[in-house]
Amino acid sequence: ELQFTSAIEVFMSYYPHVKKAIGASEKIFEYVDRKPQVPADGSLAPETLEGHLQFKNVTFTYPKRPETAVLKGFSLELKPGEITALVGPSGGGKSTCVSLLERFYEPQEGEILLDGNPLHSYQNQYLHRKIAVVSQEPVLFARSVKENIKYGREDATDEEIFRAAEMANAHKFIIDLPNGYSTDAGEKGGQVSGGQKQRIAIARALIGHPKILVLDDATSSLDTESEHLVHQALLKSSSRCAILLIAHRLSTVEKANHIIFLQGGEVLEEGSHAELLKKGGAYAQLVQKQNTAFQRNTEEGADREAA
Ligand code: ATP
């Protein structure tokens, strides 16, 4: 039974969408519906991959909701060594981009290219290794921290595990855990915080030497210190791969090389943080709104303390 349980946990950790869906049964059927759509395996598995990813004029409609296009002529370019952030209002299509990257669906129009070749021409397993997705709430299974990281590549040496953890800003906290790398990371143990979990998941992703790292950023649940450490980890990792940051909160985005504001499935504006602020458009307004909300919260806090 133990083995069965951990097999499910491992499965879940690689399919965060399924985990999200557990609460809502109709979503499970959505997932089941997805399966036959993933096209046959391609044959490409080149030894060297640059990791240059492009969405070119992608239009996508969920089969269940044929009346609304969720992405409309969407284009994006990820370059090795750069962090690209997707921001924008809820429902804008950010997570859908990740689902397409994971090949849960195929776009109806346009194409997704990796080093110039259509994504579907690669072997699925190869893509799985080269495109690592760290979900909002990564699942760690009830094994040691070390085994959790090693799951990203079974033949990794200890040295490689430590290096990946270092890169993910996780090494320091891991060695301070009661049993260091041997500490049980199982959720029930509750030994690691949300931000620590995310950093272990980043280490697990990095150990497989991905060329593209997708981070669904859930920093709303992290404290400022944890958030900072996750961001530092991303900055470090970007020397090795292209990073796509799905940002639900703006503080994460400032350091990105390129920011894409996605609304209603279309790119409303794009550029660097400074460029977009200067432009004074939707992104600038969002930043302002968030700063105001932050100020109000701080003031309310101060008022409460004064009372
Ligand atoms: P958030 O910031 O809230 O996560 P998002 O920008 O990631 O939002 P998506 O989750 O990509 O947005 O959703 C884009 C649109 O697609 C929404 O209108 C959503 O209702 C719809 N949608 C998402 N998943 C499905 C699905 N499996 N079937 C049908 N429609 C879906």
- The H-or-E segment that residue 262 falls in is strand 258-263
Query: Does 90 sit in the ligand 1 pocket, CB within 6 Å?
Result: yes
Q: What pLDDT shows up at residue 268?
A: 96
The response to whether residue 64 sits with its C-beta less than 6 Å from ligand 1 reads yes
Coil/strand/helix, residue 281: coil
Q: Residue 71 C-alpha to ligand 1 middle, in angstroms?
A: 10
Kindly list the distances between the CA atom of residue 45 and the CA atoms of 13, 127, 307, in Å, as whole numbers in the listed order: 24, 8, 65
Q: Which atom of ligand 1 is nearest to the CA of 96?
A: 11
pLDDT given at position 246? 92
Q: How far is the CA of 146 from the centre of ligand 1 (A)?
A: 35
Residue 31's contacts (CB-CB under 8 Å, 6 or more residues apart) are 17, 18, 21
Q: How far is the CA of 39 from the centre of ligand 1 (A)?
A: 22
- CB 72 less than 6 A from any atom of ligand 1: no
Residue from 30, 60, 61, 90 whose mutation best tests the ligand 1 pocket (most atoms within 8 A of CB): 90
* HSE toward the beta carbon, residue 95, CA cutoff 13 A: 13
For residue 151, how far is its CA from the centre of ligand 1 (angstroms)? 30
Instruction: For the chain, give the number of residues.
Output: 307
> Which pLDDT score is estimated for 78?
95
Q: What is the pLDDT of residue 293?
A: 72
Q: What are the pLDDT tens digits along the chain (307 aa)?
A: 444 445 555 555 555 555 444 444 444 444 444 444 555 688 999 999 999 999 999 999 999 999 999 999 999 999 999 999 999 998 999 999 999 999 999 999 999 999 999 999 999 989 988 999 988 778 888 889 999 999 988 899 999 999 999 988 899 999 999 899 999 887 555 678 878 888 899 999 999 889 999 988 765 556 667 777 777 888 888 888 999 999 877 777 888 999 999 999 999 999 999 999 999 999 999 898 877 776 666 666 666 656 5
172 exposure class (CB count in 10 Å sphere: 0-12, 13-18, 19+): exposed
Quick one: pLDDT at residue 116? Answer: 96
pLDDT at residue number 227: 74
Q: CB of 266 closer than 6 A to ligand 1?
A: no
